[in-house]
């Protein structure tokens, strides 16, 4: 049976039908969308994202999302999406337009999808292509992944692809920052991957507000935490970052530079 790719390009919008919505945490859902046929895959290069489109209160709204399923998953695509509700964050009193809209959907409802959009493309076996005016290539034996909150999802896609591969020997260290323990998305999946790949995947958490008897780090990501839990700088060490801009700009990048990691080998989704 031949396999069909669903995506037709960044400018082409196609309908995605919601099949199931599962509550994962107090503010995060797992959305399963179905394709018209069971022999269809999304057609998204590893490291890429799609854009979801919806008309919300008369306004056309578009947001980028990365699925948690890979292209070996036929018939469906799954997204883990955090809902940014109104009146929770004083800096964004209206909340997230798209995430709040998606939470109102019921099975059978549709949104439009366009893509793929690819800037950081993971080819497998440690090889990256970085898109720009010219395509730049990177080779990794070690990957440090540092993320906050829903910034996990693009890194999770790369992580899963590597650990599912029988040939990819790249080693990964992941630091995952959140506010509280209940904010940790995909925790079971991450810990299952760690337990099944102990020589290849190191996992560490840090929480701004940890519970009592918390066995991981407390507080914001800093140089000491990266030094202790990530792989050291080197020509074949690549850093992948995704999370709140202030975390990336004020914490991660200065700490990585102080530890000798090059700008060229530090990539932000």
> From start to end of the chain, where are the E strands?
4-5, 9-25, 28-34, 40-41, 49-56, 59-65, 76-82, 110-117, 120-124, 127-130, 136-139, 142-148, 171-178, 201-207, 217-218, 237-242, 266-268
Distance of CA 181 to the CA centre of its chain: 18
Question: Do the annotations mark residue 65 as ligand-binding?
Answer: yes
User: Is residue 194 part of an annotated ligand binding site?
Assistant: no
69 is in an annotated binding site: no
Annotated binding-site residue? 45: no
Q: What angle do CA 83, 49, 81 make, to 5 degrees?
A: 15
- Does the annotation list 12 as a binding residue? no
153 is in an annotated binding site: yes
Instruction: Confirm whether residue 97 is marked as ligand binding.
Output: yes
182 is in an annotated binding site: no
Q: Establish whether 1 is an annotated binding residue.
A: no
Note whether 204 and 184 are within 8 A (CB).
no
Reading across the β-sheet that carries 76-82, which strands appear in turn? Answer: 59-65, 49-56, 110-117, 9-25, 28-34, 76-82
Q: Which residues are annotated as a binding site for FAD?
A: 63-65, 80, 82, 97-99, 153
Q: Which residues are annotated as a binding site?
A: 63-65, 80, 82, 97-99, 153
């Amino acid at each position: 049976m031949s396999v069909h790719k669903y995506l037709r390009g960044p400018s082409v919008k196609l309908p995605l039908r919601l099949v199931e919505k599962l509550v994962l945490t107090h503010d995060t859902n797992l959305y399963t969308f179905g394709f018209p046929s069971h022999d269809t895959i999304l057609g998204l290069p590893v490291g890429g994202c799609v854009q979801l489109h919806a008309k919300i209160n008369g306004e056309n709204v578009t947001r980028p999302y990365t699925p948690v399923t890979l292209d070996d998953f036929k018939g469906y695509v799954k997204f883990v999406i955090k809902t940014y509700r109104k009146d929770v964050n004083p800096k964004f009193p209206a909340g997230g337009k798209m995430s709040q809209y998606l939470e109102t959907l019921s099975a059978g409802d549709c949104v439009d999808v366009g893509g793929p959009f690819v800037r950081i493309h993971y080819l497998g076996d440690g090889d990256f292509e970085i898109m720009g005016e010219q395509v730049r290539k990177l080779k990794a034996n070690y990957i440090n992944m540092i993320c906050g909150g829903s910034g996990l999802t693009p890194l999770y896609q790369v992580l899963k692809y590597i650990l599912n591969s029988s040939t990819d020997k790249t080693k990964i260290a992941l630091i995952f920052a959140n506010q509280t323990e209940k904010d940790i998305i995909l925790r079971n999946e991450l810990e299952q991957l760690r337990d099944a790949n102990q020589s290849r995947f190191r996992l560490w958490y840090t929480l701004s507000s940890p519970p009592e008897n918390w066995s991981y780090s407390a507080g914001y990501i800093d140089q000491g935490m990266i030094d202790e839990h990530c792989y050291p700088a080197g020509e074949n060490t690549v850093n992948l970052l995704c999370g709140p801009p202030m975390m990336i700009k004020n914490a991660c990048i200065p700490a990585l530079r102080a530890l000798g990691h090059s700008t060229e080998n530090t990539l932000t989704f």
